[in-house]
Amino acid sequence: MRFCVALPCFFGAMEMREALARVRALGYDAAETYQWKGLDLDAVRGAIEESGVELLSMCTTDFRLTVPAARGEYLAGLRESCEAARALGVKRLITQGGPDTGEPRAAQHAAIEQTLRDCRPILEHYGVTLMLEPLNTRINHPDAYLSSSEEAFDLVRKADSPYVRVIYDIYHQQITEGSILSNVRANLPLIAHMHAAGSDGRHELWLGENDYGYIFKELDRLGYRGACGLEYSPTLPPEQSLALVKERYGN
């Protein structure tokens, strides 16, 4: 399995060229970022080519899938994000379900489902995969609608497109529901990307209740071919922390 460095977690204050150079020097060949607006896309593309580090994913401009009135704005932002992704060679975009609006859950679920369906022609045109991320509402995102991986997988099935998938964040799902490997086994074809952090605390992978060594070996055995983004707040200097991930987990 391939590790991916979430740049804002480790090198957020650096220019992209220096951040990607550090990622490469540490032996990683993949990274991801969040907000792409404000980036000099030509300069970032040059930094990607210079470093040889692939930028795997970044975020959409909007997350309000639960709000029907925002659908047009969401789709316009998706087109814009796909254009930016094309410029940078990025093949995946991260999105979230959006806020819990207080409407009945069935109505919010239906709103997400319809928006995902409306995304299909845009994604197919650009060849970009949209990854829906359920979040934990107990600690980090109390106002979010989508926390259940089961519901996320259901929404992706209903979207009925190979360009709509789930980003499975092990940290969030450990807090929300546990049963990490059984849920992954049952839904592996619908997972395009993963995130990992120690639970609880969201620090290094070994500072928490998950045995990531076992999890990663099982993912390899299951044939998972995607990447796992290292998305945590390091307690150690960033480069030391990332070097220890390599040492402990061998990727």
Write the CB contacts of 244 (distance below 8 Å, at least 6 apart in sequence): 204, 236
Tens of pLDDT along the chain (251 residues) come to 899 999 999 999 999 999 999 999 999 999 999 999 999 999 999 999 999 999 999 999 999 999 999 999 999 999 999 999 999 999 999 999 999 999 999 999 999 999 999 999 999 999 999 999 999 999 999 999 999 999 999 999 999 999 999 999 999 999 999 999 999 999 999 999 999 999 989 999 999 999 999 999 999 999 999 999 999 999 999 999 999 999 999 87
Task: Give a yes or no: residue 32 inside a domain.
Answer: no
Q: The pTM is what?
A: 0.96
Taking the alpha carbons of 183, 167, 32, 123 in that order, is the dihedral positive or negative? positive
Q: Check: CB of residue 131 under 8 Å from CB of residue 92.
A: yes
User: Can the peptide bond before residue 211 be classed as cis, meaning omega within 30 degrees of 0?
Assistant: no
Residue range of the domain that includes 148: 60-178+187-206
Q: For residue range 113-135, what is the model confidence (pLDDT) as tens digits?
A: 999 999 999 999 999 999 999 99
Which CATH number covers residue 140? 3.20.20.150
Task: Give a yes or no: residue 33 inside a domain.
Answer: no
Domain count, the chain: 1
Q: For residue range 76-96, what is the model confidence (pLDDT) as tens digits?
A: 999 999 999 999 999 999 999
